[in-house]
Amino acid sequence: MNKLLYILTVVMVFAAVGTTQAGNPDRQGEAGGTQLLIHPYAKSAGLHLLTTSVVSGVEAMHINPAGIGRINKSEFNLSHTRYFEGTDISINAFGFAQKIGKNGAIGVSLMAFDLGDIMVTTEEQPEGTGATFSPSLFNLGVGYSHVFENKVSVGIVFRTIAESTAEVNAFGFSIDAGVQYVTGPQDNFRFGIALRNVGAPMVYTGQGLAESAPNPNNTSTPFDLTYFLRPQQYELPSLLNIGGSYDFILNKQNRLTFMTNFTANSFSQDQLGGGLEYAFDNRFMLRAGYKYEFGYFENDSNEAPVYTGLSAGFTIETPFKKGSSQKIGIDYAYRQTRIWDGTHNISVRIML
C-alpha cells in the first residue's frame, strides 16, 4: 500500500509538470473556487507560502501534503485571519495531524470564511432593499502522508469545496499531492514539489438562478414565465509548487534557513520567491519572505497583484515542561498589500 501511494503520488506530480498550462495570461480570471489559494495558517504565511520543501503538520495540507507526517506524534492548529484588513473579511481554520504507525500520518483541516453582511440590491432598488445576505464559503480536507526512512515523504489530500448563498450554491472536490526529499550531512537540504487543486469543474445551481419574464407570445391576457439561467462551469485554480531550502546550522542554538519557491499557476501569472527564517534554540523563530509575480509592470496598477510581495512573521514555542518534546506555539504573520491594510494571521499550535 505504501509503495502504491508513493508511485501514484510521484507520477501524478511529475506528470503535471508537462501538462499544467501555467502562467497563461489569456486564461487569467477564468477559474473559480479561489478560496483554495488562500492559506489560513500563520507559520507559512510569514514566508509568503514559500515553504513547499519544509512545511510540516497541519499547514502541509494547504501547501504540500507530503509534510503531514513530519511531526513527532500529534499536532493541533487553530488559526484566525484578518483578510485584507479593512474589508471586514475573516477566516477561521482548525486542523489536526496524527501519526499512524511508525511512518504514516493522517490530517484533517477545516477552513471557513466570514464575509460579513452584504446589502441586497435589485434593479428597482439599486441602493438596497434593507435586507442583507452573507455568503458561505468553506472547504474540508482529509489527507494521508507516509515517510520513507526520513528521506522521502509523499502525501495526498482529498478536499471538498462548498460555496453558497440563500438560493444559489456550488459543491466540488479537489485533490492535492506532493513529495518532499531530505538529504545532506545534517538533513539540512530539502526539496519539495506539490500539485494542488486538481478537480472536476464546479457549477452554481439553485432557485436563485430563476428569472421571470413576460410571455413572448401575443395573448389577450399577458402573464410572466419563469426561466432558469444556465450558469457556466468554472475550473478550479490548479497550480504546481516547486521549492527548495538549505539550513545553515550556525551552532547548537542558532539556525538560519534560506528557501526559494516557484509557483506555476494555470489561471494566473507564475510566481517566484525567496525567504529567510532564523531560529534560536527552537523556541523563537523570525521569518521574512518576498514573492514576485511575473507579467506586470510596476507602474501598471490594473495588472499589479494585491500583495506587494513582502511578508514577515514570528513564532514563539515553549515546552509544557523542561526537556519535553510536547510544546505549545504561537505564530503571527503579516503580508503587505497595495490597497487595504494587509493580511494578518495568528495561529496557536499544540504539539504532542
At 347 the pLDDT is 97
Report if residue 227 sits inside a domain.
Answer: no
- Say which range, 21-30, 109-118, 119-128, has the weakest mean pLDDT: 21-30
* Cα(172)–Cα(166) distance, integer angstroms: 18
* Cα(204)–Cα(324) distance, integer angstroms: 50
pLDDT of 19 over the 50 cut: no
Residue 323: domain span:
2-114+140-158+175-196+237-298+310-351
Report the CATH number at residue 110: 2.40.160.40
* Cα(16)–Cα(160) distance, integer angstroms: 21
Considering only residues 313 and 150, tell me which one the structure prediction assigns the higher pLDDT.
313
Report if residue 151 sits inside a domain.
Answer: yes
Report if residue 209 sits inside a domain.
Answer: no
Question: CA angle at residue 46 from 44 to 49, to 5 degrees?
Answer: 45
pLDDT of 2 over the 60 cut: no
**Residues 67-102: pLDDT tens digits?**
999 999 999 999 999 999 999 999 999 999 999 988
**Residues 116-165: pLDDT tens digits?**
888 888 888 888 888 888 899 999 999 999 999 888 999 999 999 999 98
Report if residue 81 sits inside a domain.
Answer: yes
C-alpha torsion sign, points 83, 94, 325, 65: negative
* Cα(259)–Cα(277) distance, integer angstroms: 8
At 127 the pLDDT is 86
Overall number of domains in the chain:
1
Q: Are 52 and 261 in contact (CB under 8 A)?
A: yes
CB burial string 87-100: b at 16+ within 10 A, e below: eebbbebebbbbbe
pLDDT of 12 over the 70 cut: no
Compute how many other C-beta atoms are within 10 angstroms of the C-beta atom of residue 131. Answer: 13
Report if residue 291 sits inside a domain.
Answer: yes
Q: Are 121 and 128 in contact (CB under 8 A)?
A: yes
Q: Which three cell numbers stand for residue 331?
A: 505564530
Report if residue 186 sits inside a domain.
Answer: yes
At 297 the pLDDT is 58
At 314 the pLDDT is 97
What number is the average pLDDT over the span 191-196?
95
pLDDT grade for 323, boundaries at 50, 70 and 90: confident
At 220 the pLDDT is 67
Q: Which long-range contacts (CB under 8 A, 24 or more apart) does 324-331 make?
A: 325/72, 325/351, 326/351, 326/352, 327/351, 331/41, 331/42, 331/43, 331/46
pLDDT grade for 328, boundaries at 50, 70 and 90: very high
Say if pTM beats, i.e. exceeds, 0.85.
yes
At 128 the pLDDT is 85
Report if residue 48 sits inside a domain.
Answer: yes
At 57 the pLDDT is 96
Report if residue 121 sits inside a domain.
Answer: no
Question: CA angle at residue 223 from 126 to 215, to 5 degrees?
Answer: 85
**Residues 285-304: pLDDT tens digits?**
999 999 998 876 555 566 67
